[in-house]
Structure 1
Amino acid sequence: MNWLHSAVVIIHLLIAAAIVALVLLQRGKGADAGAGFGAGASGTVFGARGSASFLSRTTATLAALFIATSLGLAYMGGRAPAAPKSVIDRVNLQDKAPELPATTPAAPPATGQTTDNQAVEKSSEPAPQPAPSEPPKQ
């Protein structure tokens, strides 16, 4: 894993944690009913309009960043692995190298045919001498 991939994973996790925190901080739609009974001043920390606009904008921005980092990680994960950087990685790659296929012996020749090896063997044998059919004349 290269340094860029590690950095994007860390940013991705921080954004995810921030989104969870912001969603938990936000009030639901039913929380406005309490404002009529004296709880109206509780939303003045973030301004006159309350926390809804600030927290919802921040949540939307973090959600967009979360999607961007998700797409970036998907792209980086789909690419081919980089070249080995250490000696141990090179050794591991050599162990995984495919073995060469074993050579298969040639098929035996058909009847009546000779191979090169058989022709050499036959030529090394002495040629048979023809038997004299007639006695020599004197």
Structure 2
Amino acid sequence: MIETVVVVVHLLVAIGLVGLILIQQGKGAETGASFGSGASGTVFGSQGSATFLSRLTAVLATVFFLTSLGLAFYASHKATEIRDAGLPAPVLESVPVAPISEDVPVLEEQVPQAPAADDVPVVE
């Protein structure tokens, strides 16, 4: 139950972070305010929106970081419980690249040979 709540909070914070980052203007967008773009008439004032959105982004980033650590701790704890329960560990099966058959003989003429040093033409 707690894991489900943390996952839901984690996803909501992640979506909120993406939205907040997309809403914010870049540093180069502030130069337009000096040419009379009307930034002083915004809802948060000329500087208020930048600091409000920046602080809200920092808070959401902190919550995202903490929920990530919580989920990692929970996954580690759950893996330890499974290991301690005596369940067999999953084994990766190796598949041979080519089937090995004793019925097919390998003939010497089928194996490619490198040319001898005497057979290589000299390019001048």
Is TM-score (shorter-chain normalized) higher than 0.5? yes
Aligned residue type for 1:27: Q
2-structure distance, mates of 1:8, 1:74: 11
The residue that corresponds to 1:117 in the other structure is none
Whether 2:69 is the aligned partner of 1:71: answer yes
The residue that corresponds to 2:33 in the other structure is 35
2-structure distance, mates of 1:19, 1:6: 20
2-structure distance, mates of 1:80, 1:32: 49
Structure 2 SS opposite 1:39: coil
Q: Kindly report the root-mean-square deviation, in angstroms, between the aligned alpha carbons of the 2 structures.
A: 2.5
TM-score where L is the length of structure 1: 0.53
Equivalent pairs counted in the alignment come to: 84
The correspondence for 2:11, drawn from 7, 10, 13, is 13
Kept after mapping to 2: 8 A contact 1:43/1:51:
no
Percent identity between matched residues is 53
Aligned residue type for 1:15: V
Query: How do 1:1-138 residues align onto structure 2 when only pairs under 5 Å count?
Result: 3-41=1-39, 44-80=42-78
TM-score where L is the length of structure 2: 0.59
Greater relative CO (CA pairs within 8 A, separation 6+): 2
1-structure distance, mates of 2:24, 2:75: 34
Q: 1:41 to 1:47 in 2, by over 3 A?
A: closer
Structure 1: gaps spanning 5 or more residues: 84-92, 98-138
Kept after mapping to 1: 8 A contact 2:39/2:45:
no
Structure 2: gaps spanning 5 or more residues: 89-124
Q: 1:7 to 1:77 in 2, by over 3 A?
A: same
Structure 1 SS opposite 2:78: coil
